[in-house]
Amino acid sequence: MLWFLLFSITVFIIYYLHFAVAQRAWRQMRGGQSNEIDLHYVRVEDYFGRSFRSKMQDWMELPALESSTANLREIEKGNERLYIAPAAAYPDSVRESGILAIENTFTCGSGCRFQREIYVRDTADIGVNSRLQAIAVDGNLTLRQGVQVVRWVDAKGILDIRDRCRVGARATSATRIVLGLDSRCLSLFAPEIETQGRQEIVSSLPRQRPGSILIPPPENEDGSLAEQEGINLKRLHRMSSDTWIYEGDLEFRQAVQLRANLVVMGKFVCGEASLLEGDVRARLIRVGTGSLCKGNLVAEGELLLARHTTFQGILHSGGAMRLARGVRGFNVSQQVAAFAGERLAVEPNVVVHGKLSSNQFVQAVFGASK
């Protein structure tokens, strides 16, 4: 009997606590309103640079500490210490722990360590193998070989990222970014992004070849689709007035002229000088040399653009992506973007007007592929 009573009381207490906690939580929530969404959020690619500059403008107007000199103003804001100098030229291997605001140019030697953000109103030149937290520059910014930026980097002028640099988050510029060999960033955004070895291309835009595979195939007089080599018409279905779906792989060595949107349930491979006027979605996409992609390319896995291909829309891959030598990405009406779920490898002489980003990293690599 005693055990039964104890058991009953224990069960009752457990149940009571179960609901009492819930009831208490509800009493605290009652009458409140959800505050979870930032309704004013808009996606701005150079947000970090803008936000930091805005904060710095406010902070720089705060009164300086007594320890300040003519060449170095010190400002304290909470636990932060801000140093403002007209110009700065750090020698090699310096360590700096405060936030820096430089009114003119900023240079540092090799192997320096800056543990907090830096703001430069003119140009900046970061020495070899230095390590920064983040930097916003109103002029041009050069990151020399082996520089590591833990977070973001933003420049209003040209952002020159030399070989073997690492940027942990976004690299943005309002003018141009030059990405050196073996350098890695999570994402890059600028009106123009280029890799080393840029050469103006003698126009290699595709000429419409007489032997091109037409997708969808032209219609016969009776309304049926004409036979095309490499396409099993039984597997080709119309999804809508402008979109077709193909069950299986579509692999062509010759040029393809795609005249509608196409969903391929397998691989999509097209030959040299193809003209893709519509969007393509496939498990894997490989576009041949010198092709022109007017639409978007979306691959569940790998996506490869061969040499001298031009894209004018979005490239999106769930797997790795490779932009071979001479690839161009631009559109007169709006910026373009390439995103890879895994590594986005960019060979030399690639120019993209817009954005390159990856879940892993964007890396400038040697041009090995043909």
Partner 1 sequence: MVLLIIISKLCLYAAILFLALYAIRHYIFAYSRFSLARPRDTMDIVGFVMPRITVLVPMHNEERVAADILQALIACDYEWEKLQIIAINDRSRDRTGAIIDEFADAYPMIQSFHRTEGPGGKPAALLAASEMATGEIVLLFDADYYPGRAMLKMLVAPFADPKVGAVMGRVVPHNVGGSLLAGLLSLERAAGYQDGQQARYNLGLTAQFGGTVGGVRRTALMAVGGWNTDSLTEDTDLTCRLLERGWEVAYVNRAECYEEVPVAWPVRRNQLQRWVIGHNGCLHRYAGRLCRSRLLTRWQKIDAVFMLACYWTAPVLVLGWLASLVLYFAHTPDSWGFVALLMFLGYQLFANQATFVELGVAAMLDGSSRRILLLPLNLLNFFSSTVAICNALWQFYLRRITGDGNQEWRKTGRTRDEADAGQSPFLGGGRGGDR
What is the token pair recorded at 115?
A: 């543990």
Report how far residue 320's alpha carbon sits from residue 299's, in angstroms, rounded to the nearest whole number: 10
Site string for partner 1, 131-170 (x = CB under 8 A): ----------------------------------------
Q: Is 36 in the site for partner 1 (CB under 8 A)?
A: yes
Q: Is 21 in the site for partner 1 (CB under 8 A)?
A: yes
Output the smallest distance, CB 76 to partner 1, in A. Answer: 30
For the segment 292-331, give every residue that binds partner 1 (CB under 8 A): 295-296, 298, 313-314, 316, 318
Select the residue interacting with partner 1 from 30, 66, 70, 78 (CB under 8 A). 30
What is the token pair recorded at 22?
A: 């819930």
For the segment 174-213, give every residue that binds partner 1 (CB under 8 A): 187
What string of DSSP letters covers 145-214?
Answer: TT-EESS-EEESSEEEE-TT-EEEEEEEESSEEEE-TT-EEEEEEEEEEEESS--PPP--PPP--TTPEE
Strands 158-161 and 280-282: unpaired
Residue (of 116, 112, 124) closest to 98 by Cα position: 116
Output the smallest distance, CB 21 to partner 1, in A. Answer: 5
Contact 169, 188 (CB under 8 A): no
Query: Environment class of residue 283 by beta-carbon count within 10 Å: exposed (0-12), middle (13-18) or buried (19+)?
Result: middle
Select the residue interacting with partner 1 from 278, 288, 290, 326 (CB under 8 A). 278
What is the token pair recorded at 277?
A: 């006027």
Select the residue interacting with partner 1 from 6, 10, 24, 62 (CB under 8 A). 24
Q: Is 348 in the site for partner 1 (CB under 8 A)?
A: no
With contacts defined by CB under 8 A, name the span among 3-11, 83-91, 262-270, 285-293 that binds partner 1: 262-270
With contacts defined by CB under 8 A, name the span among 120-128, 139-147, 283-291, 334-342 that binds partner 1: 334-342
Q: Is 69 in the site for partner 1 (CB under 8 A)?
A: no
With contacts defined by CB under 8 A, name the span among 16-24, 100-108, 131-139, 209-217 that binds partner 1: 16-24
- Say which residues have a Cβ less than 8 Å from residue 72's Cβ, sequence separation at least 6: 83, 84, 85
Phi and psi at residue 40, to the nearest 5°: -95, 0
With contacts defined by CB under 8 A, name the span among 27-35, 65-73, 91-99, 192-200 that binds partner 1: 27-35
| C-alpha distance across the termini of the chain, in Å | 85
Q: Is 239 in the site for partner 1 (CB under 8 A)?
A: yes
Select the residue interacting with partner 1 from 1, 2, 5, 35 (CB under 8 A). 35
Sole residue written with tokens 């820096």: 100
Q: Which amino acid, 260?
A: A
Output the smallest distance, CB 34 to partner 1, in A. Answer: 5
The binding site for partner 1 (CB under 8 A) comprises 18-19, 21-26, 28-43, 45, 187, 237-243, 245, 247, 261-263, 265, 278-281, 295-296, 298, 313-314, 316, 318, 334-337, 339, 354-355, 357, 359
